[in-house]
Amino acid sequence: MQRLFVAALVTACLALSAAFVRAGEKAEPASGKVPDIEIKDLKAAIDKKQVTVIDVNGTDSFRDGHIPGAIDFEANEAKIEKLLPKDKDALVVAYCGGPQCTAYQAAAKKAVALGYSNVKHLPAGISGWKAAGEKLEKADAKAS
């Protein structure tokens, strides 16, 4: 009986592992870790209007300059569900200050918890975006 239980448990674990491997790079809800996206790929998605970008640098930083079209997470966290696309498979990208910053995880976790399956992280952050010479957008009083 005990061997049967152990065999069933091992089989279940293997099946779950295989399912995660088949799923490819997906968000890990508990950790907030999500796959990365490069600046060029994010820029292409922005140009095609195929992404929702979330800035997690805080409202002051957001007002000073953010990736065009980004949502100020700090100012909009309570209503973020209303600002995200209806399509739960749509690309959602969170970013913060740069490669060492982990603040993006708050927005990533929130999006994943809301059921979004294509959540990514821009590790370059706003500092990498600026260094790459990409355009910034400044917020007016009503945008944040």
Q: What angle do CA 74, 77, 78 make, to 5 degrees?
A: 135
Alpha-carbon gap, residue 87 to 102, rounded angstroms: 26
* 56 vs 140 pLDDT, higher one: 56
Per-residue pLDDT averaged across 43-65, rounded?
97
Looking up tokens 């799923």 gives 23
- Are the CB atoms for 57 and 66 separated by under 8 Å? yes
Per-residue pLDDT averaged across 13-17, rounded?
37
Q: What is the dihedral of CA 89, 39, 109, 139, to 10 degrees?
A: -100
pLDDT tens, 55-81?
Answer: 999 999 999 999 999 999 999 999 999
Domains by residue range for the chain, with CATH: 26-131 (3.40.250.10)
